[in-house]
Amino acid sequence: MGTRNYRRKTSHSEHGPGDGGRTGSWRVERPVLDQSLCIPCKRNKEACFICWLFCPEIVISRTIPPRVDLEYCKGCGICAEECPTKAITMVDEAKFSEEDKE
């Protein structure tokens, strides 16, 4: 099967998870959110969302609380690095049970 009928003549990628496949399995560490430190959670209103803005895989939602789509999160840790209140920590995947990994 080939790409003859693909709708573009160029290299083109739209935002959304999955452009690089199911990258959740690549993860060594998982981002875990402490809602007591997270700005939108504390104020209960739309604010900050630095994690959503910086996530290169677009797997963090712009919601209260922000949620991470673990099927595609590669565990890069940028969200934890950028969070101004250190509300996100990267935790070793081995600490989570098999069910959690799904």
Q: Which residues form the interface with other proteins (CB under 8 A)? A: 1-3, 6-19, 21
Complex with other proteins: residue 14 or 99, whichever CB lies closer: 14
What pairs with residue 89 in β-bridges?
Answer: 32
At position 66, the amino acid (one-letter code) is P
How far apart are CB 21 and other proteins at their closest, in Å? 7
Under DSSP, the state recorded for 94 is G
Cα–Cα distance measured from residue 66 to residue 40, given in angstroms and rounded to the nearest whole number: 8
Complex with other proteins: residue 14 or 92, whichever CB lies closer: 14
How far apart are CB 64 and other proteins at their closest, in Å? 23
Complex with other proteins: residue 48 or 72, whichever CB lies closer: 72
Nearest to 58 by CA among 4, 14, 12, 2: 14
How far apart are CB 58 and other proteins at their closest, in Å? 10
Q: Which two tokens stand for residue 67?
A: 């949620």
